[in-house]
């Protein structure tokens, strides 16, 4: 259907005809939802949550300062600022504003959005600030002086591209960007790695590595750890495979000989390797520590830092100066412990702190070159975040507590397991009222199921106000394709096996009905990006299970995704439409191509962004057009900015969420609740 697709013209992102058509759809959606009774008040209540001045301002340490990026009612685009730990401990810290993005956008007449900064170490005197035009992944880069709080005239500057850049020293950076024809991969990311000296034209940056156009990207980075300064290059051959090289002083490359599906990096004298497949007698999902120099010399003896089991997987880790903090998941609830290397290559371990059941603990920041300081965040579905600060082996203090944002009286959290079509047990969380005395009610089921992304318990103030407070039940499905049980859980839904994720989600939906938590007519589903593909599958494969569906920035045309923006980078996840064998299963799971006139579909809301330069807005546009042609109920809302997040500021985010929940409540609530 790709050659005779009548809606290819909607892939012209900023084409006059396409934008006029989008404007008509937006007007229809606004008339149907934004004009509804209660919409304005709901949006305002959600905006209050997003702009709340007593939110926890999460920080990252660079030298003596703690840095934070902040948005609120007075700073829609946000400010980059910093303070000291002593000030941060207070209820009202004094912040030094470094960059006001609203002011910059107004001065330059460009809808700039913050896209991060790379602070130079160890002096922390300069930063490479990245700015996105209205939310896209492509950025401009400008050097910033943290002392004078100004951009550096004639400093490092790179025009808009999907640039990768990082400090080597005060006058040199690694850079990969658009240097002209042939310098980007098919996915639109840098294909070359170059070193760029201050005061020289970017075009004269010296190449140190060149990948292939079919790769995803190439990048370089400098390890500035005192006494262990080293340079590395990585070639990402696809989304899940890469090659890492040590860049020596004579500019030669030494391959770090680990499996290409493993994650590896150097830390001081160690080489840390996390496995995605079995290797050297170690199970997939294990985390290993080698001596870096001895590994290069051929020694493959390793200390095992983590070994998974059927119910436990690695969730993350972070270094302090002398320790490794390890986060693990057991049935999707996190645990945290401290590992310490000792002489003789042995490591000790002990718990760092207790974590409540059905909660998530996350290492927010550490300062691994200097101290054993850590910042930890702990939250749950009904438990607002608590931010802890401490030092390994020392005292831990509560720095900040987020207040409750919604009325949780009468709400409970439970974890259940559904049985998928092939017999696999699929965990899911249910947050909501006790339905035993009242019977089934409206429920919203959320899922993702791809790219080894795990959905863990967290406090959702927007969901709380928009859904739970009104009597709805919120459900998170931990389906295959994610990382909740390690690499095997992800691999189980790769390529032609993607249908396992769809079956898992449908099994959770059916289990909710069997438990009398909801009914098909009162069950909604939502997901974004890869989760938008999941929603498309629910529409086309399991329409009888749902009363309404929302697909956000969705991936829906599985026969052309590789030709649209960053889509070529995802062939390792889904398959390659140009491969005849893969094209068979991609056509069979492509929601856009499975839409038909003879099927009854639940009402569908599609949301996307004109400035999404990751998942092309054409996916949502074309699906909406096709559904309209076939006579089905569909609404489309396309934000003009916001990138892949779908919203560029808190107001847009509140608007999008109000649209979504107004749509769902309208279709799912019973007469008594509506």
In 3-state terms, what secondary structure has residue 474?
strand
What is the CA angle 435-540-530, rounded to 5?
A: 80
For residue 121, how many other CB atoms are within 10 A of its CB? 16
- What is d(CA 115, CA 377) in angstroms, rounded to the nearest whole number? 23
Instruction: Name, in order, each residue with C-beta under 8 angstroms of 148's C-beta and a sequence gap of 6 or more.
Output: none
Strand partners, 91: none
Cα angle, residue 468 at apex, residues 463 and 471 outer, rounded to 5°:
150
Side-chain half-sphere CA neighbours of 505 within 13 A: 35
First-to-last alpha carbon distance for the chain, in angstroms, is 41
The structure tokens listed for 340 are 């310490």
Cα separation of 224 and 216, whole Å? 26
DSSP bridge pairs for 517: none
Q: 333, 529, 569, 609: which is the annotated catalytic residue? A: 529
Separation of alpha carbons 39 and 659, rounded Å: 8
Please list the residues that pair with 528 across neighbouring strands.
Answer: 552
d(CA 201, CA 196): 8
User: Cα–Cα distance between 38 and 666 in angstroms, integer?
Assistant: 11
Q: Which residues contact 281 (CB under 8 A, 6 or more apart)?
A: none
CA distance 154 to 199: 8
Residue that has been written with the tokens 């489309």 in this structure = 636
Catalytic site residue from 75, 389, 644, 661: 644
SS3 state of residue 290: strand
DSSP state of 549: E
Q: Which residue has the tokens 């996190």?
A: 334
- Tokens 């209050």 identify what position? 48
Is 529 among the residues known to form the active site? yes
Tell me the two tokens of residue 321.
């100066």
Residue 270 designated active-site? no
Residue for token pair 């491969």? 579
Q: Interior CA angle at 377 toward 372 and 382, to 5°?
A: 160
Burial degree of 398 (CB within 10 A; 0-12, 13-18, 19+): exposed
Report whether the peptide linkage leading into residue 122 is cis, meaning its omega lies within 30 degrees of zero. Answer: yes
Query: Residue 504 contacts by C-beta under 8 Å, 6 or more apart in sequence?
Result: 418, 420, 424, 426, 449, 477, 479, 480, 493
* 3-state SS, residue 52: coil
Backbone angles phi, psi at 315, to 5 degrees: -105, -30
Dig out the tokens for 642 from the structure.
């916001």
All residues at 6 or more sequence positions from 468 whose CB lies less than 8 Å from its CB, including other chains: 406, 408, 411, 431, 432, 474
Catalytically active residues, by annotation = 529, 644
């Amino acid at each position: 259907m790709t050659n005779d697709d009548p809606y290819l013209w909607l892939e012209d992102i900023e084409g006059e005809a396409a934008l006029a058509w989008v404007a008509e759809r937006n007007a229809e959606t606004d008339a149907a939802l934004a004009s509804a009774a209660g919409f304005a008040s709901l949006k305002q209540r959600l905006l209050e949550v997003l702009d709340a001045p007593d939110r926890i301002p999460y920080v990252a340490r660079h030298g003596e300062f703690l840095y934070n990026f902040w948005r609120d009612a007075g700073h829609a685009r946000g400010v980059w600022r910093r303070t000291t730990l002593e000030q941060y401990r207070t209820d009202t810290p004094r912040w030094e504003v470094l960059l006001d993005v609203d002011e910059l956008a107004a001065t330059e007449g460009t809808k700039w959005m913050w896209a991060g900064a790379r602070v130079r170490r160890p002096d922390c005197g300069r930063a490479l600030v990245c700015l996105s035009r209205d939310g896209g992944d492509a950025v401009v880069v400008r050097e910033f002086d943290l002392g004078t709080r100004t951009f550096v005239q004639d400093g490092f500057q790179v025009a808009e591209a999907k640039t990768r850049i990082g400090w080597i020293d005060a006058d040199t950076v690694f850079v990969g960007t658009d240097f002209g024809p042939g310098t980007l991969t098919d996915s639109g990311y840098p294909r070359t790695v170059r070193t760029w000296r201050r005061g020289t034209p970017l075009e004269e940056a010296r190449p140190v590595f060149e990948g292939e156009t079919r790769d995803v990207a190439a990048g370089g980075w400098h390890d500035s750890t005192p006494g262990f300064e080293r340079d590395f290059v990585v070639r990402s051959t696809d989304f899940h495979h890469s090659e890492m090289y040590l860049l020596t002083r004579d500019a030669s490359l030494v391959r770090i000989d680990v499996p290409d599906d493993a994650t590896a990096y150097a830390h001081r004298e160690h080489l840390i390797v996390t496995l995605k497949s079995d290797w050297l007698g170690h199970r997939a999902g294990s985390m290993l520590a080698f001596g870096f120099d001895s590994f290069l010399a051929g020694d493959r003896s390793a200390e095992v830092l983590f070994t998974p089991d059927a119910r436990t997987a690695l969730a993350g880790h972070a270094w302090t100066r002398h320790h490794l903090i390890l986060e693990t998941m057991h049935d999707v609830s996190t645990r945290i412990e401290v590992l310490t290397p000792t002489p003789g290559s042995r490591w000790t371990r002990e718990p760092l702190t207790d974590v409540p059941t059905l909660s998530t603990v996350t290492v927010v920041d550490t300062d691994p070159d200097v101290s054993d300081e850590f910042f930890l965040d702990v939250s749950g579905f009904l438990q607002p975040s608590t931010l802890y600060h401490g030092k390994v082996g020392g005292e831990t203090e509560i720095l900040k507590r987020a207040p409750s944002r919604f009325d949780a009286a009468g709400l409970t959290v439970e974890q259940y397991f559904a049985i998928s079509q092939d017999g696999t047990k699929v965990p899911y969380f249910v947050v909501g009222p006790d339905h035993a005395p009242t019977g089934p009610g409206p429920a919203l089921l959320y899922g993702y199921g791809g790219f080894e992304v795990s959905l863990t318990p967290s406090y959702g103030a927007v969901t709380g106000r928009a859904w739970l407070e009104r009597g709805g039940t919120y459900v998170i499905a931990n389906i295959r394709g994610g990382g909740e049980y390690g690499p095997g859980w992800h691999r189980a839904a790769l390529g032609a096996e993607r249908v396992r994720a769809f079956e898992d989600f449908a099994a959770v939906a059916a289990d909710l009905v069997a438990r009398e938590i909801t009914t098909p007519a009162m069950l909604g589903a939502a997901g974004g990006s890869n989760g938008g593909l999941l929603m498309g599958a629910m529409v086309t494969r399991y329409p009888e299970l749902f009363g309404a569906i929302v697909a956000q920035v969705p991936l829906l045309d599985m026969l052309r995704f590789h030709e649209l923006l960053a889509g070529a980078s995802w062939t390792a996840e889904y398959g390659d439409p140009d491969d005849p064998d893969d094209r068979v299963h991609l056509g069979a799971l492509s929601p856009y191509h499975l839409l038909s006139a003879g099927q009854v579909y639940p009402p569908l809301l599609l949301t996307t962004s004109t400035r999404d330069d990751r998942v092309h807005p054409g996916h949502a546009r074309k699906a909406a057009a096709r559904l309209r042609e076939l006579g089905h109920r569909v609404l489309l809302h396309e934000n003009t900015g916001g990138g892949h997040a779908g919203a560029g500021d808190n107001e847009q985010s509140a608007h999008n969420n109000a649209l979504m929940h107004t749509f769902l409540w309208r279709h799912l609530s019973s007469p008594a609740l509506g």
